[in-house]
Amino acid sequence: MTVSRIQLTGSGPEFSRLVAGVWRLGEWGMDTRALLGFIHGCLDLGITTFDNADIYGGYTCERLFGAAPAAQPGLRDRLELVTKLSLIHISEPPRPY
């Protein structure tokens, strides 16, 4: 079974119907090789969209996730990345950009 795809608007972006979230990526204990295995497992299922945000994992998940496409040229072209920025934990000061 492969996950279907949806188009958000008539001319808008297309995403996999299921999205892989990496909010707790830093807690998974994966090195880049294991993360590549996870990403390829998602792709094998038709999950091509990944959710991230600058605040995830104490501001570490985007960097951790980015190591995988950096290690495997061409992988980035197979992914849709959904991210947010300027989210703030009320217990932390905002990060300067």
For the chain, report the end-to-end CA distance as a whole number of angstroms.
Answer: 42
Instruction: Spot the catalytic one: 47, 50, 52, 56.
Output: 56
Q: Check if 97 is active-site.
A: no
- Distance of alpha carbon 80 from alpha carbon 68, whole angstroms: 14
Nearest to 23 by CA among 54, 55, 56: 56
Residues 16, 67: Cα–Cα separation, whole Å: 22
The catalytic site residues sit at 56
